Structures are given as structure tokens and as C-alpha cells.
Structure 1
Amino acid sequence: MIGTLLIGLREGLEAALVVSILLAYVRQLGRRDAAIKIWVGVGAAILLSLIVGGVLTFGAYGLSFRAQEAIGGSLSILAVGMVTWMVFWMLRASHGLSAELRGQVDRAIIGNGWAVAALGFVSVGREGLETALFIWATTRASDLSPLVGFLTAVSGILLAVILGYALFRGMIRVNLSRFFRWSGVLLVVFAAGVLAYGIHDLQEAALLPGPFAEAPAGASGVIASWYGESAWAFRVSHVIAPDGVLGALLKGTLGFSPEMTWLEVIAWLAFLIPTLTIFLRASFAQDRAARAQRAALKTTTVARPEPVTASSKGTP
């Protein structure tokens, strides 16, 4: 639930910032027609995102259990990849986003201006598709009902729209660099949980070794240990109920399940530790570079010399 709220808030705020920059720039250019076309692109992107979300939620129930698990596991891993890319892209692009978008508008507005509608569609559609896919994967991983996940995500998106409008109107000031850093940290943690659940789905589909598949004929030693009961890292359902409050909270935030295989645990650690380390190092390095640049600008600013007057020269 927290994961779906956060992804709705963050993705919604990114989309709101992009749309605000596009609209503000075409308004400065006096191109009201371009602003209307941007909204056409935004509306088409929202419609596409809703269609994709509906297909993901209701489209797989006619398939066999193994097929559903195979598709679910594959899409969960895809969602992790997309969200991870988004987190690092926003970290890299946040400082120069406005200038980059204005350059794209300058190129898109040439001619009849419909290319700027495509720009709005791609900018918002990318966020919408990532949101739909990650919310679907998160609700599966945390056993939330699709309706609860959808409503929670919509709440985050509405909050993002309000924040985006307030930022656009100058009503509030938010340190976006810090917001995207710490929301990125939380999303990396949530993504690690989704990855572990995706691995679990692929194990249930017998596409990966695990407790739900038999070891290949003649397998022994290390290979055989990845199958059957020995594939479980721990099983503590008698201590933490999977459907209890604590179990649901741990699964929805950290991706922890009372029953996890060794492959799930290894995937969770192998993704979380290096990704979080690289992300935080890059984020703080970017802040240090920005502070150094500001300090350099201050030190290179030379005060204008006072005008020389007769009184300042002194009387001969």
C-alpha cells in the first residue's frame, strides 16, 4: 500500500513537472495552439496507461496457473528494471530537465506543431506505463487487491498533481533533489521486494529451480540443493502470519515473506545492496558537484571597481 502510494506520488510529480515546463514554455512563446496539443498528447497517454493497467489486472485469468505465474514473474522483473532506470534517469536529468525539454519543444513546434503533442504523449506515457506496471507488480507482491492498489496509487497521483500545480504557481518550494533522492531510496527497496516476488513466481512456474520443481535426473550436490525442501532459506509462517498485519507490512515494504527460498533471498540482496550503494553515491556526488559549482561562481565574481573621482585622487 505504501509502495503504490509512493510510486503514484513520485511518477505523478515527475509527469506534472514535465507538463508544467512544457506548458509554461509554449505560453511564453504565445503558442496557445501548442498548449492544446500538449493536453491532447497527455490525455492519450493517460488513456493508454489505463488500458495497459486493465489488461495487466484482468487479462491473464483465462490462462493456466503456470502460464499466469510465468507472465507475472517476467513482468515483475521488467517492472523492476523500468523503475530502476527511472530512478537513475531522474537523478541524472533533474538539474537540466527544464533546458532539455525546452530544446525538444523548439524542435517539435516547427510546422503544424503536432510533434509537441507527441512530446507530451511520450513524456507522460512513459511515466504512466511505468506506474501501471509497477503498481500491478507491487499489488501482486504484497497481496493487495487490485482495487485497493489502484485507489492508493490514484491518491498518490492526485497529491502529486496538487503539489505540481502549487510548485507551478510558486505557492510552495520543495527541494526536489532531496525528494527524488529519498523517494528513490524507498523505490529501490520496494523494487527489491518485487524482484524477489518475481523470482518466486518463476519458481512456481518451474522456470527457475525451487521447491516447486523436481531436480533434473542425475542431479546431485549443489544443483540438487536448489530443488525440493532444501531450496527454502527459511519458513517462519508459524511466527509471522503471512496474512497478518506484520506479515503484510513487511511484505509490502521490504519484500519480506515468512517463506522465502534461497534464490529469492540472494536476488533481493544482490539487487538491493549494489543498487542502493551506487544510487546514494551518485546522488551525494551530484550534490557535492553542484555546491562546488556554486562556490566557484561566487569566488570568480569580481566586484566592480569604484569610479575614480577628483576627491578620491586627492588634491595635487
Structure 2
Amino acid sequence: MIVPFLIMLREGLEAALIVGIIASYLRQTGRAAWMPVIWTGIFLAVTLALLGGAALQFVSAEFPQRQQEMFEAAVGLIAVGVLTWMVFWMRRASQGLRSELTGALDQAFQAGQGQTWALIGMVFLAVAREGLESVFFLLAVFQQGRGTGAPLGALLGVLCSVLAGWAFYRGSLRLNLKHFFRGTGLFILLVAAGLFSGAVRALHEAGLWNHGQRIVFDLSEWLPLDTPLGSLFAGIFGYQPAPSVSEVVAYLGFLLITLFFFFRPGTAQLARPAAARVGG
């Protein structure tokens, strides 16, 4: 429950932040009449994410066991990719996000035509990107565990992000984006490492990866998965009581590489123009 909540809080807050900047700028510049257009973009993006998630879930349910393991591995690898990309993109973009968005809005309105589609496109792309990223992440999490805790945590995360976005729009929220995205980014990289290790395990179960299957250690008697602490560690960090060599190498290798770039000085200043892509 904790992992889906925090991830959806961050994903939702990213989308809410972008939508809040656009909405507040429209209000400040006397363009509040364009607010229904924002809701149109949000509705279309949410619809796309829900349909995409439902389609993937339906397709995966029809697979036999081996194909289900392959599908689980593929979804896990995609989730690792989008989560890692999200961490580094938002770390860069958060510094100049407001100026990039307001500049794109000014250009759209100064063009004199197509403002409606431009505004819908900005909101749609921002929300749809976060929504589709969330779909792959939640599928990866749901496939590794059962129960109502994960969906409930995801729903609470979305609700909290919506409230935070509304508070940001009303001007009552002053969030230190640099510290927030740095802290949650570190947490997400730990989660992504667990998903990557789980994808390697799924590839082995599908018969596609049979290297390094010697057990490194066995903590089944000390910290089994069916205990509250074991379940917590499994949900957050992808803990397995008896991991193989390939799983440990995948976990530690992923962390060493990503944390090196995450903490490397100057990383946040690289490729700042990427923020401009938020506006379509």
C-alpha cells in the first residue's frame, strides 16, 4: 500500500503541478473562460489511461503461464524504464517548469488561432504521460502481489495529489519542489531496483534467463514473506528471502548506476530544454 500511494502521489502531483501552473496562469492573465478546455484535456487523458490499463489487464489474463511470466517481465522492465526516466526528467524540469509552460501558453494565444487545441494538447500530454506511466507501474506492482492494499494506496495517492494540486492552484501551497522531487526520486529508484530484480526473476520463470541462478543467501527462516515486515520489504524494495545471483546483481547494479548519476553534481542542470516538451 505504501509504494502505490507514494508513487501515485508523486505521479499525480507532477500532473497536478503542470495543470495547476496552466490554470493559475490563465486566471492571472484574465483568461479564466478557458478553464473548461483544461477539464476536456484532463478527461481525455484519464480516459486514455484507464482504457490502456484495462486493455493490458484483459490481454494478460488470456495468456498461459509461460506467456504471463513473459508479460510480467516486459511490464516490469517498462515500469523500470519510465520510473527512472521520470526521476531524472522531473529533477531537471522542475527548475524551469513554470517559465517554460507560461512561455508556451503565451505563444499559443499570440498565434491567434488554434488556442483551444493547443491548450487541450498541453494538458492532455501532461496528464496522459503521467497516467500511462502509472498504468505500467501499477500493473507491475499488482502482478507481484495480491489484495486490496495496493489499489487502495494508489487511490489515496491520487486523491492526495488532486488536493495538493487544488491547493497549489488556489495559492495556499508553497512546496519546495527541489527537495520533494529529490527525496521521492531516491525512493523511486529503490522501488525501480526491486522491480528490475523481479523482472529478471520473471524471465527465469519464463525460461528466457537461466544464468546465475545459484542462491546467494536464504533468509526464509529469519524473515519470510508471509510476515508483516517481510511483506513490507517485498512491496517497497522487492525483497526476496532467497534471491539468486542474477537477481542480486540486477538489483545492486541498477542502484549503483542510477545513484551515481542521481547524485553526480550538475546532473540537474543538463538538458533543461527537455522541459519544453511538456507543452507538446
SS at match of 1:233: coil
SS where residue 50 of structure 2 aligns?
Answer: helix
Correspondence list, 1:220-259, <5 A: 226=212, 231-259=214-242
2:197 alignment counterpart? 196
Aligned to 1:163: 164
Q: 1:159 to 1:283 in 2, by over 3 A?
A: farther
TM-score (norm 1): 0.78
- The equivalent of 2:272 in structure 1 is none
- Aligned mates of 1:284, 1:85 — CA distance in 2: 13
Equivalent pair of 2:261/2:267 in contact (CA under 8 Å): no
Instruction: Report the residue type matching 2:243 in the other structure.
Output: M
For residues 16 and 57 of structure 1, do their structure 2 counterparts lie closer, same or farther at Cα, with a shift above 3 Å needed? same
Q: Distance in 2 between matches of 1:96 and 1:39?
A: 24
Matched, 1:272 2:274: no
Structure with bigger gyration radius: 1
Q: Distance in 1 between matches of 2:66 and 2:9?
A: 33
State how many pairs are aligned: 266
- Pair 1:285–1:82, CA change in 2 (3 A): closer
In structure 2, the partner of 1:177 is: 178
Structure holding more helix per residue = 2
Aligned equivalents of 2:42 and 2:181: distance in 1? 23
Q: Name the structure 1 match of 2:120.
A: 117
Structure with greater contact order relative to length (CA < 8 Å, sep ≥ 6): 2
Confirm or deny: 8 A CA contact 1:73 1:202 kept in the other structure. Answer: yes
Query: 1:206 aligns to what?
Result: 207
> Identity rate of aligned residues, in percent?
40
Could you say what the CA RMSD is over the residues aligned between the two structures, in angstroms? 2.0
- How far apart are residue 235 of structure 1 and its match? 3.2
SS in structure 2 at match of 1:231: coil
Q: CA deviation at 1:32?
A: 4.1
* Structure 1 runs not aligned, ≥5 long: 211-225, 287-316
**Aligned counterparts of 1:208 and 1:3: Cα–Cα separation in 2:** 27
Amino acid in the other structure paired with 1:265:
V
The correspondence of residues 1-316 of structure 1 with structure 2, limited to 5 A, is: 1-109=1-109, 110=111, 111-112=113-114, 113-141=116-144, 143-145=145-147, 147-210=148-211, 226=212, 231-282=214-265
Aligned to 2:217, the other structure's residue is in SS state: strand
Give the C-alpha shift of residue 204 in structure 1: 0.6
Deviation at 1:52, TM superposition (A): 2.1
CA distance in 2, matches of 1:175, 1:88: 17
Instruction: Tell me, yes or no, if the aligned pair for 1:231 and 1:261 is still in contact at 8 Å.
Output: yes
In structure 2, the residue matched to 1:215 is none
Letter in 2 for 1:180: F
Q: Which runs of 5+ in 2 are unaligned?
A: 270-280
